[in-house]
Amino acid sequence: MAKMTCAEAIREALRQEMERDDRVFIIGEDVGQFGGCFGVTGNLFSQYGEERVRDTPISETAIVGAAVGAAAVGMRPVAELMFNDFLTVAMDQVVNQAAKMRYMFGGKATVPMTLRMPYGGGISAAAQHSQSLEAWMTHVPGVKVVMPSTPEDYAGLLIASIRDENPVMFFENKVLYGMEGEVPEKIEPIPFGKAKIHREGDDVTVVALGGMVPQALSAAEVLAGEGISVEVLDPRTLVPLDVEAIKTSVAKTNRLVVVHEAVKRSGFGAEIAAIVADECFDDLDAPIKRVGALNVPIPFNPILEQYVVPNADRIAKVIKEIL
């Protein structure tokens, strides 16, 4: 095992897959000599050259469109958008082309494309560079949605994404890029649809997405000092979703809180809450609670941003409301 940041784990996963399969290439703005907007692609340009680490113009439409076309003819592109907010510019390529091509060609065409996208607040990047748009993608049949929270999971799930025969939306939390953790020297793919229990507990289940996992763990640690036992579950992938792991946890704790950085209204937490209400109603001893960002654009001002985005204190407060 080696200690890496999440950003380093992503880069190492890319390197290992590019070494293993010469169909894998990277495409995006400033991914080459500059090393990526957040430094994630680093020195891959010097290792693999401009043919496999391709800088593009500032055009998300072109980036994703080129990736879709390359994937359809047998390549395995890893496209990077600087911010998930700019997914809006490439929605036709993702929703009407990548997501539907395999179905509309009767399985004769596949689109093994990975779209890497930094998301979330925490760095005062303001309203157009700080959104969390994963719920949009979960509503589109034909794409898979991945949202890791640890260096090991970033690495293993990225390799699984690159090897998958379908388009994968790979969401990367900007604040977590610098978080360190252990990563195997030879990274193995982590299967989609397998949740991880980061902390076991008996009183309440907290299902936390992506960047909210560390916040949920911090809340659980504080509440443990008050005699409250919190189970923290990380789905890791939203499509496919490990429904059985969530149901098993709720059957044990009889309470559920869902936490995500996206705005609370119509966030993916509503989908998880609906599933549990439908399939685990008799296990519940309290109403299901959701924690998400306030329904406002993310402010540039760091104090206001901290107020809008969920944190450990807000999670702990909501947990106490149902005990």
Catalytic sites, residue numbers: 129
**Which residue type does 34 have?**
F
E-only strand ranges, the chain:
2-5, 24-28, 53-55, 76-80, 114-119, 144-146, 168-173, 180-183, 196-199, 204-208, 230-234, 237-239, 256-263, 289-293
State the Cα–Cα distance between residues 71 and 197, nearest whole angstrom: 34
State the Cα–Cα distance between residues 186 and 67, nearest whole angstrom: 27
The greatest distance separating any two alpha carbons of the chain, rounded to the nearest whole angstrom, comes to 58
Reference 147, options 50, 267, 53; nearest CA is 267
Q: What is the DSSP string of 88-141?
A: GGGHIIIIIIIHHHHHHTTTS-----EEEEEE--SS---TTS----HHHHHTST
Q: Is the dihedral of CA 273, 310, 148, 167 positive or negative?
A: positive
Reference 27, options 73, 64, 79; nearest CA is 79
State the Cα–Cα distance between residues 148 and 238, nearest whole angstrom: 10
Q: How many residues are given for the chain?
A: 323
State the Cα–Cα distance between residues 112 and 239, nearest whole angstrom: 16
